[in-house]
Structure 1
Amino acid sequence: MTTEQPIPVIIDCDTGIDDALALLFAVRHPGLDLRAVTCVAGNTDVDGVVRNTLTVLEQAGAPAVPVARGAERPLIEAVRTARHVHGRDGMGDLGLPAPTRTAVDVDAVTLLRREILASPRPVTLIPTAPLTNIALLLRTHPEVTRNIERIVFMGGAVATGNATPVAEFNVWHDPEAAAVLLTAGVPMTMYGLDVFQQVVVPGADVARLRGSSEPGARLAGELLAHRGPATDEAEPGGGLGDAGAVCAVADPAGLSTELLPVEVALAPGPTRGQTIVDRRARPGESEIHQGGREQTMVDVALGVDVERYVKLYLAAVEGP
């Protein structure tokens, strides 16, 4: 009997509560081989992201995964953090200890190029943050795409946004970078708000995690409790958020996707940062009268098996 090799993955993140949940899962799921983590400004400033990432990896008992500091601001926009969601330190102000680990002495783009090209098998790249590092990588070192199996990014929305009525935070934070991502020319999955907001760990499971004597499981519980949505439960549940995108790499059958054209709105105004997903069955008047334009086809997540991903997450984080 042969055992499948783990999937080599690299996470680009802005750790963040739910990025931390994603890292915990990636470290502990036996089907994933976390080869590197790169950091970008987003939920908090980039130095805070580096600190939070190193702390999470330490708490999770991760091996010596290289971590690199990346872009400290978007390509064009100013930094606009989400500390009102993630706390002053970006990690729910849980008072976690400072890490003893340190980042590598190269920048994020250099580390991404090195690890992607050095991998003996094509890498799955999982950005869970604004896409600045990824855009810089693709423009500086386009040769990396030959060893990228797929990009599964947490970002965008088919329906409703959160940063604006139509734009999701990661894409809104750096729309130009998201537009560059869509030029990568590799298979791509968009894990957007449409599924992101559905995967909620029940309150009883969150309480059990918080009571664990194992540091990584306990941290997952504290993070989930901080992300708890308003519910009628005595113990409110907590959303997996970004971690769902990593679950989708470990178990893609839990995600329902449709291959659809996607573009990013870049013009100033209320639609800036919107991911425009074309779900029409046939071309409309615009295409008929102006001629078709080249569009990027993306596997857009439209449905998710919530119970399946919750079980998957808990099994990994509470596993041996």
Structure 2
Amino acid sequence: MTHVGRSIPVIIDCDTGVDDALALLFAVRHPGLDVRAVTCVAGNTDVDGVVRNTLTVLEQAGAPEIPVARGAGRPLIEPARSARHVHGEDGMGDIGLPAPRRAPVDVDAVTLLRREILASPRPVTLIPTAPLTNIALLLRSHPEVTRNIERIVFMGGAVACGNATPVAEFNIWHDPEAAAILLTAGVPLTMYGLDVFQQVVVDGTDVRRLRASADPGTRLAGELLAHRPAAPDITPDPEAGGIGDAGAVCAVVDPAGITTSLLPVEVSLAPGPTRGQTIVDRRLRHGESELHTGTSERPLVDVALDVDVARFVKLYLTTVEGA
């Protein structure tokens, strides 16, 4: 199952993870995407668990032999802090998946990222759905890669509320310094944050249909959605499940499905309750701070502020079930 023609060359950097797995299942089954590599980083679980989970998902999806590489085992400064309370002890909902037969490539994630980006005949879209440690190391070690990066669409951050803290989303909170480096990448950035991440929910009827499928990849999508129930303020349906990180991949395939605004964004690096917050400036004019201290240049990011839920749910289901 290879993608040809004008498919979009993409590389996914992930911490698989239930919703990273949903993203991978979608990416390898969409005919408009050419998944050139997958790189792994510590986040939802330890990095060796992420590698194992990633290889297992690709096998279950019937994906081609996509190179998978092990990356950073901890953030740039902070210790590693997993999210096993959300994703289970194995990072995949403890649903009893078999060990993978595939193996990672014999180079590290940064080396694989550099190789695949520079080798691509067309500019690559990077889709990080994890803490941004690998991406920061790549940008600092090999800044020449930016000449062949079309865009970076990252799942991370929040305009309104966080989940790791009241103001910080997990991926950014896990490695704020890496996120700050990403913002200086010098390539177009799209932030697919919690504001849209939490909205895209598959209802219980569809989840049950996926779980009953004879296709292993489709069935896995159903099992994962069942493990990741939607927030009760989004839907009262107890069997509904959010696609999470997969929405960022949907946004690459169908960018018109999200409403974005080009806004200044910075990451709070100070110790304390705001560490890891993505500060998104939605003001129409400068305030007293800029007037008294001078306006500082801040990176501009296409921030997703709204999403067409029905459109993305249909896109996700059609793709995962249609392979």
Instruction: Give the alignment's TM-score, normalised by structure 1.
Output: 0.98
Query: In angstroms, what is the RMSD of aligned CA positions?
Result: 0.9
Amino acid across the alignment from 1:250: V
Instruction: Give the alignment's TM-score, normalised by structure 2.
Output: 0.97
Render the CA deviation track for 1:128-151: whole Å, top value 9, x for unaligned.
000000000000000000000000
Q: 1:250 aligns with which of 241, 253, 271?
A: 253
Tell me the CA shift for residue 99 of structure 1.
0.2
Question: 2: CA distance between counterparts of 1:202 and 1:232?
Answer: 10
User: Is the partner of 1:34 in helix, strand or coil?
Assistant: strand
| 2:266 alignment partner in structure 1 | 263
| 2:144 alignment partner in structure 1 | 143
Q: 1:295 aligns with which of 292, 295, 298?
A: 298
1:115-264 pair list within 5 angstroms: 115-229=116-230, 230=232, 231-233=235-237, 236-264=239-267
Render the CA deviation track for 1:134-191: whole Å, top value 9, x for unaligned.
0000000000000000000000000000000000000000000000000100000000
Question: 2: CA distance between counterparts of 1:256 and 1:4?
Answer: 28
Question: 2: CA distance between counterparts of 1:145 and 1:292?
Answer: 27
User: Is the partner of 1:139 in helix, strand or coil?
Assistant: helix
| Pair 1:282 & 2:285 matched | yes
Render the CA deviation track for 1:72-121: whole Å, top value 9, x for unaligned.
00000000000000000000001000000000000000000000000000
Question: 2: CA distance between counterparts of 1:43 and 1:202?
Answer: 25
Question: 1: CA distance between counterparts of 2:172 and 2:229?
Answer: 23
Mind listing any 5+ residue stretches in structure 1 that lack a counterpart?
none
Tell me the CA shift for residue 232 of structure 1.
3.5
| 1:111 alignment partner in structure 2 | 112
Q: 1:308 aligns with which of 305, 308, 311?
A: 311
Question: 2: CA distance between counterparts of 1:57 and 1:187?
Answer: 28
Question: 2: CA distance between counterparts of 1:36 and 1:181?
Answer: 19
User: Is the partner of 1:318 in helix, strand or coil?
Assistant: helix
1:75-94 pair list within 5 angstroms: 75-94=76-95
Amino acid across the alignment from 1:161: G
| 2:32 alignment partner in structure 1 | 31
1:21-100 pair list within 5 angstroms: 21-100=22-101
Amino acid across the alignment from 1:10: I
**Pair 1:226–1:282, CA change in 2 (3 A):** same
In the alignment of these two chains, the number of paired residues is 317
**Pair 1:144–1:4, CA change in 2 (3 A):** same
Amino acid across the alignment from 2:227: H
4+ residue runs over 6 A deviation: none
Question: 1: CA distance between counterparts of 2:295 and 2:66?
Answer: 45
Question: 2: CA distance between counterparts of 1:247 and 1:232?
Answer: 24
Q: Percent identity?
A: 82
Question: 2: CA distance between counterparts of 1:94 and 1:23?
Answer: 17
Tell me the CA shift for residue 4 of structure 1.
5.9
